[in-house]
Structure 1
């Protein structure tokens, strides 16, 4: 059985409102049932105790009026309360003396207390009383006592009262049970109403989120006026929709720019091939093939840069390793062609960073090649550690970048006039890839002020020092 089928057959409702209502109703039912049972038990015990207390007083009052050889007839009094039957019974079970209500009746019970038992309380259901049971208290009149009224054997006093309705019938249990059910139902209904009102903004947010599609990401969810978790959820949803809208627009813009950049070499290649086919006598075949190969190489370079750019933005990062930023810069300097503007490396310290050697090497190679391309006489590279950051600066003495273009140069396919002039075959993705790589490593890449030329500053989180300040490094190329 699939997990989806299992979820579909489970007895629990999916609605939070229903689950909370059932949970609160069940909790009230359990708690109120326990409270009701304790209350009913306490009331029953209290009523029975009151009746037995009246019977004890009635027996004491009757015994206090007895004298040796003299047994008065029991009479009702204020102390008798609920007591209805009073009997004096001999050891054979014969009634010797009784009050008017018990006259002609058999003994209330056959229970015969023994010396030391005191008064015994019990419930009996005599055959001559079919409509109700009796609460009976029994007491032994010991003939061995000096003031015993009767010396011819043990006698027993029985006091009885009709069992109160609250004890005889389950009316109280039924009433408490009905009250518990009603209270539980009211609690469940109240919880449903409260949860429904609480979740109303959530349903509005869910409805609006379902309406938001890739074609219309301008929708925003309603924000409650009160400041609580639901309002926080609404703000988070709107923030997510903002980021989603920006991401989708950036994707669309990137796709449009990529299509535009790819169209130029494809159009040139098509034109060259069509000319060679349509005018075979006027077009030199070797020249046409060389031009087509150049357009193909241009197309291949753009596609490679596109793949690298999307890989850095979307693909999971490869394993990072501890790197010496100065050593990495020295390796990239050594890999550059020996001709061209000289590059001077100066390291005030040797900061270590955590990252990908291949990705960070490509960033450094791009910055060094870009600086050499735009420089007139020199390129200066400095490496230092400022606080908890490793800082690498590449500065050239070229034309520089005006402040309003210092962020645009990191956008995909953006190429300034100077860059197009110096590198006509570039794709405009090098700096965009470099910045995304730095961000993926927790750092940044910016263009900052410089008296002359351009100054690119790379910042990466530096690893803690290993107890050595490192040796200063310097290299010119």
Structure 2
């Protein structure tokens, strides 16, 4: 049986991407296409310009030569044969009937280079003649306006760079070389730019939920890739902290559930094993107490789960009316409410009722004689204060009380069946409504302060924040 080699950790992150589907491939192809399009236009412009320049230069020299020998013919001083120049070697004097009367040595044995005859009113005109495949660039100069005046033709063969298409070939080769060079440079530059991204991708492929301690390397500089790496590291740090918090929560939850279940099982086993020594009513009463605690824990856990996946139906809520209604429910100590009317927030009524009930229930458990609830707008926030006259909370424990399953000694004594999740759930609800919940200083007792955004913004008649 052939053994399958183990899959290397992070191999999925190093999967090869087809060149044309990669970013550097797409950039290289796009750059090559754009460069080729631009170079084609530039090449056409250069080709036209070079052709025009060469022909213009030849025609300029031919015009000077034709004008010179035309004047010589008019004055009767044209030599035989007509001497050629370096730039103009084909010179002919052609009569009305197309006969060559005089010519330069290179054109002496040739028939008339052109049978064109300029009109009397425009005696100097350029011509392009192609008698035998190779074109001639000529300047025709009629000697005089007379009807029988001969014509001087001066010019030369079209240069090979124009006649054979060598200029176009050279331009095309140069365009291809430039395009290839630009595409290669783009491929190299993009690859060098994206090299840190490949390293980041490989490192992220090595990160698992069981180990979030790894961090991606941060390249030097403050460009977009460095910012991406820093953001990824901050996200990993938050995930690491959240996973660690969930681990602690799971450990604490298992302990909180195991303890009452173990006690319940022990009491029930004692009732079965020693029926004569155990009071059945006490056993049932104790079982109900433990069941109530388990039910409270499960209810709070379900509330946490619903809070994570469902934000509830949001509506405009008169927070003062809600607090007044919840404070009216009977309790161990009275609750006095001082609420400014018209303080409205936007949120889930069911969850805000749960939050207010948790704060009032906690205050009633710890109060000696009463609870004072104050609601007022401060700036753009609705501020709800719940103050009891109990022993209060030490500054060192003011954040701990919002942790899950944390119960102070006084809380355990006053409410043995509590779940330790009420205040943690209340803070989660406050955060879900873009608010805050904290414990602040007070002359006596514990002061819980809830701040939520006002529905209508800053209140005109509200209390200004100091």
Q: State yes or no: 1:380 paired with 2:380.
A: no
- Distance in 2, Cα, partners of 1:85 & 1:465: 95
Q: 2:93 aligns with which of 88, 94, 103?
A: 88
| 1:346 Cα deviation after fit | 1.4
Deviation at 1:282, TM superposition (A): 5.6
Which residue matches 2:344?
352
Q: For residue 235 of structure 1, what is the aligned residue in structure 2?
A: 230
Whether 1:426 aligns to 2:433 is no
Pick from 372, 386, 389 the counterpart of residue 394 of structure 1: 386
Residues 307-355 of structure 1 deviation map (CA, whole Å, 9 limit, x = unaligned) = 112322x123123222222111111112x22x52111111355422111
Moved more, 429-438 or 226-235: 226-235
Distance in 1 between residues matched to 2:246 and 2:224, nearest whole Å: 32
Residue 19 (structure 1) aligns with:
26
The aligned counterpart of 1:44 is: 51
Among 46, 56, 62, the alignment partner of 2:63 is: 56
Q: The residue matched to 1:219 in structure 2 has which SS?
A: coil
Corresponding position of 1:268: 263
TM-score normalised to the size of structure 2? 0.88
1:178 to 143, 164, 173: 173
Residue 429 of structure 1, CA deviation: 0.5
Give CA deviations for 1:233-278 in whole Å, capped at 9, x if unaligned.
Answer: 1111110011010111111111112211111232233334434444
Q: Structure 2 stretches of 5 or more lacking a match?
A: 1-16
2:447 is equivalent to residue 455 of structure 1: yes
Does residue 1:252 correspond to 2:244, yes or no?
no
8 Å contact from structure 1 (residues 447, 457) kept in 2: yes
Deviation at 1:112, TM superposition (A): 3.6
Q: Which residue, 398, 417, 421 being the options, matches 1:406?
A: 398
Give the aligned partner of residue 73 of structure 2.
66
Count how many residue pairs are aligned between Structure 1 and Structure 2: 446
Q: Which deviates the most, 174-183 or 453-462?
A: 174-183
1:295 to 2:287 alignment: no
* Alpha-carbon distance between aligned partners in 2 of 1:76 and 1:186, rounded to the nearest angstrom: 50
Unaligned runs of 5+ in 1: 1-9, 471-477
Give, in angstroms, the shift of residue 70 of structure 1. Answer: 7.7
298-307 or 171-180: bigger deviation: 171-180
**Distance in 2 (alpha carbons) for counterparts of 1:300 and 1:207:** 46
Distance in 2 between the 1:433 and 1:114 partners?
106
> TM-score normalized by structure 1?
0.86
1:350–1:385 contact (8 Å) kept in structure 2: no
Q: Give the aligned partner of residue 325 of structure 1.
A: 319
Partner in structure 2 of residue 137 of structure 1: 139
Question: What CA distance in whole angstroms lies between the structure 2 residues aligned with 1:69 and 1:46?
Answer: 35
Counterpart check, 1:195 vs 2:187: no
Task: Give 1:117 deviation, angstroms.
Answer: 4.5
Give distance in 2, aligned partners of 1:342 and 1:450. Answer: 19
The CA distance in 2 between the partners of 1:444 and 1:17, in whole Å, is 47
Structure-2 residue corresponding to 1:4: none
Identify which range, 202-211 or 278-287, moves more after superposition.
Answer: 278-287
Give the RMSD, CA atoms, in angstroms. 2.6
Deviation sequence 1:150-209 (CA, Å, 0-9, x none)? x5x354332231111221222232222222222222222222222222112222222211
Equivalence for 2:112 = 107
**Separation in 2, partners of 1:68, 1:343:** 132
Distance in 2 of aligned mates of 1:88 and 1:468? 106
Native 8 Å contact 1:217 1:245 kept in 2 = yes
